[in-house]
Amino acid sequence: MIKSQKKATSHEKSVIESARALLYEQALVYYEGKPIGAVAAIPQRPSRFEKGAASTLDLNYTEVFIRDNVPVMIYFLVDGKAEIVRDFLDTCLSLQSDTFETAGVFPTSFTEHQGSLVADYGQRAIGRVASVDASLWWPILAYIYVQRSGDRAWACQPRVQLGLRRFLGLILHPWFRDAPTLQVPDGAFMIDRPLDVWGAPLEIQTLLHGALLSSAGLIQIDLEAKGCCGLLGQSCTERPKLDDFTEQQVVQFRQTISWVKRLRNYLLKHYWVNTKSVQVLRRRPTEQYGDSIVNEHNIQVETIPHWLQNWMGNEGGYLIGNIRTGRPDFRFFTLGNCLGAIFDVLSPFQQQSLFQLISQNRVDLIGQMPMRICHPPLEDTDWRKKTGYDRKNLPWCYHNGGHWPCLLWFLAIAVLRHQQRHSPLREMAILEVLQSSYELLLQRLPQQGWAEYFDGPTGLWTGQQARLNQTWTITGLLLMHHLLRVNPADARIMDLPDLRTLIKLYR
């Protein structure tokens, strides 16, 4: 276990104090006298290299993004500021769309304009792509808030339960496909520019898993308050007549648990790879038809990249980036894999294999600025065809192999909660990776102006188009400091409802 009592240096204290000041004094956005979130990046005056570009310099970085506020809200909870998190959740809920096309969707971002809040559901976004992850994060943050604060009364409010009902109504509906994964367009989550992630990208599926569990947990809280939780195991003909809203809660709870069971099984079957599973995949026949087949997506052996063998090693394993008919995406996406561990999509043994993979590939994934968002990057013809010549997603840049310091705390949560919940790590190198990575952040982030991302094969260069004083960069360091120096036990803050416990409720 990493010891929290290690004495902080004067440099560390100074950096942490500066980061807290930036967050609390400059990043917060107030509406009607209350803080309702933080801007994506604290506005800066244009440098002499940017003269004349002041009107476009910040774009929408001064808006409040749900995605960017995830680490902010987690930090507020561990820092004892739960009321800010509640106000943030309430504000997002008030902006949940009720129009026909987007009913149930939470906004990507919002801002104040002439005394009112204006939300962006994709109608103002670059490329006009809506962020699906914003909607999936809301129930997860809501459940974490209730568990941390003990504010079960908030979860039982009709407007909160109505918001969940609208959200689940968006997710739990018939498709033209049988798979339990959620289909999204390219650029619909943290990977917000074209990067050939259309279909069922990993990050969306792990977030969907967490959102479904969280929604079921919040519904359970309300049903318990009504004295109806014992009715979950009864069929509609067995249980007494309920009011329409409660009846719909029971139906959605059962649908949600059924969906999340199928989703986890699907992810472990089709997304999880290690040396053994890849060898099995390479020997599967193709052109199969019918119910009992072993190569459901008709994957040809030539789609399995040669770099995978050495990179994965004998003990490493991870969730691939996407599964599609004939075109699996074997790229490693950091956030989706960390969430897979945090939300227990992965078994304890698989989590250890993931940590082994990360520690043995620290040159690729950590480099000189932890940590890389995606490996390997698209290059040459692939970059031109699959990103549409997107200059921001050049190889080793931005989301195409760039380094994002805001990702490290997710890995820290995954590693520390595993050690606290399951078993000591058989591969202790991952703990040293966390410690050395934290030291890198302490040294480089203040020097580089708390930049959004870093470029190059090792993350040495500040991102060409990176905004400075990026809020989730600042908050990511504060969370790392809290987890490694203040209270490692807070790695349990993102524990979601246990799937097996929820299943027992309706058996």
Of 193, 187, 89, 190, nearest to 141 by C-alpha is 89
Per-residue pLDDT averaged across 65-71, rounded?
Answer: 98
User: Residue 54: pLDDT above 70?
Assistant: no
Question: Which pLDDT value is given to residue 49?
Answer: 46
Output 293 or 201, whichever has higher pLDDT.
201
Residue 5 lies in a domain: no
* CA dist., res. 123 & res. 74, Å (int): 28
Check residue 45 and give its pLDDT.
Answer: 67
**The predicted structure's pLDDT at residue 213:** 98
Give burial (CB, 10 Å; 0-12/13-18/19+) of 45.
Answer: exposed
Give the per-residue pLDDT at 8: 74
Pairwise CA distance, residues 189 & 181, whole Å = 15
When pLDDT is averaged across residues 469-483 and rounded to a whole number, the result is 98
Whether residue 371 contacts residue 446, with contact meaning beta carbons closer than 8 Å, is answered with no
- What is the tally of structural domains in the chain? 1
What's the pLDDT score for residue 454?
A: 98
| CA separation for the pair 325, 346 (Å, rounded) | 23
Please write the tens of the pLDDT for every residue from 299-345: 999 999 999 999 999 999 999 999 999 999 999 999 999 999 999 99
Mode of pairing for the β-strands spanning 374-375 and 64-65: unpaired
| Average pLDDT of the segment spanning 231-245 | 78
Report how far apart, in Å, the C-alpha atoms of 306 and of each of 108, 324, 330 are. Answer: 38, 19, 11
pLDDT value of residue 56: 47
Q: Looking at residue 211, what is its pLDDT?
A: 98
Answer whether residue 3 is part of any domain: no
Q: Is 48 inside a domain boundary?
A: no
Give domain status of residue 166, yes or no: yes
**pLDDT of residue 405 exceeding 60:** yes
pLDDT of residue 232: 77
Whether residue 265 lies inside any domain: the answer is: yes
Q: Is the pLDDT of residue 426 over 70?
A: no
Bridge pairing between strands 332-333 and 374-375: antiparallel
Which tokens is 171 given?
């997710």
Residues 146-165 have pLDDT tens digits of 999 999 999 999 999 999 99
For residue 55, what pLDDT is reported? 42
Q: Measure the CA–CA gap between 2 and 484, rounded to whole angstroms.
A: 6
For the residues 141-147, what does the mean pLDDT come to?
A: 98
Instruction: Map tokens 């119910």 to a residue.
Output: 291
Q: Is the pLDDT of residue 5 over 70?
A: no
Neighbours of 368 (CB within 10 A): 14
Per the domain annotation, does 99 fall within a domain?
A: yes
Q: Categorize the per-residue pLDDT at 352 as very low, low, confident or very high, splitting at 50, 70 and 90.
A: very high
Residue corresponding to tokens 């956030």: 335
Task: Name residue 164's beta-bridge partners.
Answer: none
Residue 4 has pLDDT above 50, yes or no: no
| Residue 455: φ, ψ to 5° | -105, 170
pLDDT of 266 reads 97
Q: Provide mean pLDDT across the span 288-295.
A: 88
Identify the domain containing residue 438 by its residue range. 10-43+59-286+297-505
58 near 43, Cβ under 8 Å?
yes
pTM of structure: 0.95
Output the 3-class SS for 199-225.
ECCHHHHHHHHHHHHHHHHHHHHHHHH
| Model pLDDT, residue 242 | 87
Is residue 416 within 8 A of residue 491, CB to CB? The reply is yes
User: Where residue 152 sits, what CATH number does that domain have?
Assistant: 1.50.10.10
Is 248 a member of any domain?
yes
Per-residue pLDDT tens digits for 80-92: 999 999 999 999 9
CB 112 within 8 A of CB 29: yes
| Mean predicted confidence (pLDDT) in 11-19 | 97
Helices 244-270, 158-171: crossing angle, 10 deg rounding: 50
Cβ-based neighbour number of residue 434 at 10 Å: 25
Q: What is the mean pLDDT of the chain?
A: 93
pLDDT bucket at 61, cuts 50 / 70 / 90: very high
d(CA 365, CA 358): 7
What is the C-alpha to C-alpha distance for residues 219 and 152, in angstroms, rounded to an integer? 11
For residue 2, being part of any structural domain is answered with no
